[in-house]
Chains A and B, each alone.
Chain A
Amino acid sequence: MSLGNFLQRAMSRWMRDGGPQDDIILTSRIRIARNIQDIPFPILQTQGHANQVLDTVRRAIAQPAFTRLGQFEMVRMSDMPLLDRQVLMEKHLISKELVDKPRHGAVVLRDDEVVSIMVNEEDHLRIQVIMPGLRLKEAWQLADQIDDALETEIPYAFHERYGYLTACPTNVGTGIRASVMMHLPALVLSGQINRILTAISQVGLTVRGLYGEGTESAGNLFQVSNQVTLGESEEEIIANLMSVVQQLIDHERQARRMLLSENRDALEDRICRSFGILAYARRMDSKETLERLSDVRLGIDLGIIKGVSAGILKELMIMTQPAFLQKYFNQELSPAERDVRRAALIRERLRMDNTEVR
């Protein structure tokens, strides 16, 4: 299969399409946690309870209120090979927890992979909507619809005072986590990022790396999300995040202009070197890949590199992950082999575009 064909089939909509402000915002994501009345949370679940949850979800997604929202498929984690589970995680559709402990877990996926519902993870249900660009409100509206459709069949655990009840009290209330993945190379290059990240944590938001909790932020990518879930409405939570994100976007744009006007030679050198390495290197590890891709993407945004599609950062940052690579080359690969294949894949992808380096 050619790379182009493989990409067509393997990519989620969020990896392929663009969206508002997508020179800085890669994705917008809404996740809501829900649980079913009178059934213990997954941590204390017996096989019987787990099946009860799975059956309830299966019924809920079969009814018309739900099926009119798109083409969905439900898959048990235990029916899926490890590699396929890892690919889903790399595409941000399921969590590491479901990959490592498939036990009673399942996922409901919409065909465009904009909607994914994790079943029997930390909570009975985790509804996720992921969209390209800055589209938090749109993502919330869709998540809200999915939630309403499920609720016509599923009696949710809800408390008048504490809201939607969740396994962990850090999610109780709205159960919502709204997050945006931001590409902030100029704020990093100009050394402003730490000051800004500290400020973010003081307004009830958190910053994480590419793959969530505890992961390091490689490739100048940052996930900004709300911390508090109880005491504010979903709209307030999203509006609060939006206003901070908009300020970050403004700062990043300003920093990019500054770099261009004051450090143009150094910046162009860095970007073109990274492009050269991606285009010709024979071995690439994941970390360097992300760093070089970040430079190239910045070069595309600033008009220094032309002819390369702007989606290349999003595409390749997922495509070059370990499981995805092995899926593409259709074989198990050691880390050293992966570095060689990764470099080959990147070269091939770059050759698909009519590149021109100014």
Chain B
Amino acid sequence: MLCQNCHERPATVHFTKIVNGEKSEYRLCEQCARERGDIFAKAVNSFGFNHLLGGLLNFESSPGFTAPAGKGLRCDVCGMTYQQFTQVGQFGCPSCYEHFAPRLEPLLRRIQSAVQHTGKVPARTGSHVKLRKDLERLRKELQQCVANEQFERAAEIRDQIRALEQQLGQ
């Protein structure tokens, strides 16, 4: 069915208005619906990404799921509750990640590929994190070198690992 306003695009918004018992129906495309003002705009926009995320978050508490208690969770720093988070789909402050950790992990597992960051580490804020990551990478490389019998390279890597371990120890 085509939009009754522009007669060009398919009608995807079906809207029934009842004023004083008088019923009028609209079948519009999204674009025309948006142009017709607030009431339609709300209907069209209300199913945004954040609601989808919110739905995903609440899904855990549906029957059949044993969810960790999320109701009372609240971030001490910014005051945002987990309930509020599920509605807006955004955290209030960096500390929310700590405060909501028990509920966060299942969510991250669903929307991300893993729960452990493996990418860039800021030089200043995370210097020890960076060292540990470098160490991990070198150890892997060392194993590979040994497996491929590249012993000279392996010796080099071993020395690098020792140096890093010393730095971390300090």
Q: Interface residues, chain A, CB within 8 Å of chain B? A: 35, 37-41, 43-44, 122, 144, 147-148, 151-152, 155-165, 167-170, 172-174, 176, 204, 213, 228-234, 237
Contact = CB atoms under 8 A, between A and B. Distances in A.
B90 interface: yes
B119 A161 contact: no
Contact of B112 (A35, A165, A230): A230
B80 A151 contact: no
A169 B115 CA distance: 11
A74 to B, nearest CB: 22
A38 B76 CA distance: 12
Interface in B57-89: 77-78, 80, 88-89
Task: Please report whether the interface of chain B is mostly helix, strand, loop or mixed according to DSSP.
Answer: loop
Task: Please report whether the interface of chain A is mostly helix, strand, loop or mixed according to DSSP.
Answer: loop
A47 B55 CA distance: 31
Interface residues of B, number: 34
Ranked 6 nearest A-B pairs via Cβ:
A231-B114, A163-B117, A157-B94, A231-B113, A230-B112, A174-B119
Interface in B85-108: 88-94, 97-98, 104, 107-108
Contacts, number: 118
B107 to A, nearest CB: 6
B146 interface: no
Contact of A169 (B108, B119, B122): B108
Contact of A163 (B49, B88, B119): B119
A165 B89 CA distance: 14
8 contacts: A35-B94, A37-B94, A40-B77, A41-B91, A147-B120, A158-B121, A167-B91, A231-B118
A156 B126 CA distance: 9
A159 B93 contact: no
B108 A151 contact: no
Contacts of A237: 119
A38 B97 CA distance: 12
Nearest to A230: B112
A338 B165 CA distance: 66
A169 B104 contact: yes
Interface of B: 49, 53, 77-78, 80, 88-94, 97-98, 104, 107-108, 111-126, 129
Contact of A41 (B92, B111, B114, B124): B92
B126 A160 contact: yes
A233 B112 CA distance: 13
A174 B118 CA distance: 8
Contact of A230 (B98, B114, B120): B114
A151 B119 contact: no
Nearest to B95: A38
Contact of A172 (B49, B88, B112, B121): B112
Nearest to A204: B113
Given A169-B108, A170-B111, A39 B119 contact: no
A151 B118 contact: no
Given A158-B121, A160-B117, 8 more contacts: A44-B78, A147-B120, A151-B124, A157-B94, A158-B129, A159-B98, A204-B113, A231-B113
B111 A43 contact: no
Given A159-B117, A176-B119, A40 B97 contact: no
Q: In this complex, which of B94, B111, B120 has the most chain A Cβ atoms within 10 angstroms of its Cβ?
A: B94
